[in-house]
Amino acid sequence: MSEQTVRKTALELLVRIGEGGGFSHLLINHAIEKNHFETRDARLLTELVYGTLQRKLTIDYYLEPFLKRKVKPWVKWLLSLAVYQMQFLDRIPDHAVIYESVEIAKKKGHKGIASMVNGVLRNIQRKGVSTFDEVTDPIKRLSVETSHPEWLVKRFVKWYGMDVAKKMCLKNLEPKKVSVRVQPLKISREDALMKLNADGIQGEPSALSEQGIKIKEGNVFQHSLFKDSLTVQDESSMLAGEMMDAEPGMTVLDACSAPGGKTTHIAEKMNNQGKIYAYDLHPKKAKLVEDKAKTLGLTIVEARQADSRQLKDLHSPCTFDRILLDAPCSGLGVLRGKPEIKYQKTTEDIRELTRVQRELLQSVSPLVKEGGKLVYSTCTVDREENELMVEWFLNEHPEFEIDPDFHQDLPDACQSLPGLSEWGLQLFPQDLNTDGFFLTRLRKKGV
């Protein structure tokens, strides 16, 4: 497979994601399978697409002085892809990047576009890109330097101050490591680590979950254990299953369950004894949960399609020992793995999501038994969706409280983190090199 084919595919994906709102991780995986890319080419494609997306606003800043007129979206993405390689990748010579970019421009456009692409890139090669020194406003500078929209930087700074905001924005530019969870009813973490290490895949135990393994080196997706004994899951997400305090024989609800990582984790913690009702708004996603449970050999999961804001029509009050509400959210904690989110989301989106989160809390909370527990989690770092949501809920529902055992039950690695508050735990990506994630555990009074 030629590098030109990889670059051409990267350009197609960038246009689809940047102009059409596609999801980077899904499109990249599909392109790798469709084109039968070998490991090296798959790695390059992933690097080019994620890297160009991650640095989009920085690259726009670099390109601006060299673009005299507006260009078609695909041409802008082609230039951005080239500038990313020239500025942020060492292993690809500039002349090779320019040559391949001009060839793609010839095939996709015409001689005039190819000539313009050649001129812009050679100009950048000769003159170099602008520094950030002339950007004196600290918010704007952080926005340009780390490629986060200004509104988002302002929001981060408002919630957490400049120091935390800067660390978070810089961390969001770093590639994300893979972590996996073992199915302990099939294999112990120790045995899984031994097998992985014996096959050249370096892993180490997670500090957030007794089932978690952080992959340091090697392709775990190719390993035989991946078929039915391992689940890809971020460590922060594993924390939700760990903090459910679920026991064998309980009746549990996972209100927003797809794609099933947390559902199956809870089933494993319950030793596959009891009952878990797993719902998702979309039938295909509910099927994903069902399939994941079958793959892992977990029989206590019943996955169904339903709007969890209407679960009172399916279940009586005080039915569940435990409820997980992993609420739909802005996703501002997972920008390392889904960089397009930072350009697609708006404050209006967050406002709409908080409305949905309130409706979900109002709907599922009556279903908790007295003395039962509800874990609320999100993969965002926005306070309106997290601490302020919990504060609102507790004011509206005095029958609930923060579970008195929540803080002490958190892993040792979380005990001194800056995001630990009376309302729950806000994990920042720079804390433990995980996704940004929030969770808390509420207890229904009465027992």
pLDDT in tens, the chain (447 residues): 566 689 999 999 999 999 888 888 889 989 988 888 888 899 999 999 999 999 999 999 999 999 988 899 999 999 999 999 999 998 889 999 999 999 999 999 889 999 999 999 999 999 999 999 989 999 999 999 999 999 999 999 999 999 999 999 999 999 889 999 999 999 999 999 999 999 999 999 999 999 999 999 998 988 999 999 999 999 999 999 999 999 999 999 999 999 999 999 999 999 999 999 999 999 999 999 999 999 999 999 999 999 999 999 999 999 999 999 999 999 999 999 999 999 999 999 999 999 999 999 999 999 999 999 999 999 999 999 999 999 999 999 999 999 999 999 999 999 999 999 999 999 999 999 999 999 999 999 986
The SS3 assignment for 1 reads coil
- Neighbouring residues of 431: CB distance < 8 A, sequence distance ≥ 6: 417, 418, 419
Q: How many CA atoms lie within 13 A of 260 on its CB side?
A: 23
Q: Which residues are catalytic?
A: 379
Distance CA 193, CA 182 (A): 10
Q: How many CA atoms lie within 13 A of 384 on its CB side?
A: 17
Among residues 22, 80, 90, the alpha carbon closest in space to that of 55 is found at 80
Among residues 311, 247, 250, the alpha carbon closest in space to that of 280 is found at 311
Q: CATH 1.10.940.10 in the chain, residues?
A: 3-127
Q: Which amino acid is at 110?
A: H
Distance CA 368, CA 381 (A): 26
Distance CA 57, CA 52 (A): 9
Distance CA 217, CA 202 (A): 5
- Neighbouring residues of 383: CB distance < 8 A, sequence distance ≥ 6: 159, 426
Distance CA 432, CA 208 (A): 9
Q: CATH 3.40.50.150 in the chain, residues?
A: 235-444
Whole-number Cα distances in Å, 308 to 225, 281, 377: 34, 7, 15
**179-232 classified as CATH 3.30.530.20:** no
Distance CA 213, CA 209 (A): 8
Q: CATH 3.30.70.1170 in the chain, residues?
A: 179-232
Task: Return the CATH superfamily for domain 235-444.
Answer: Vaccinia Virus protein VP39 (3.40.50.150)
- Neighbouring residues of 415: CB distance < 8 A, sequence distance ≥ 6: none
Which secondary-structure segment (H or E) carries 241?
helix 235-242
Distance CA 254, CA 38 (A): 38
- Per the listing, tokens 């089933």 go with 267
The per-residue pLDDT for 33 is 87
Which of the four CATH numbers 1.10.940.10, 1.10.15.40, 3.10.20.30, 3.40.50.300 does domain 3-127 have? Answer: 1.10.940.10
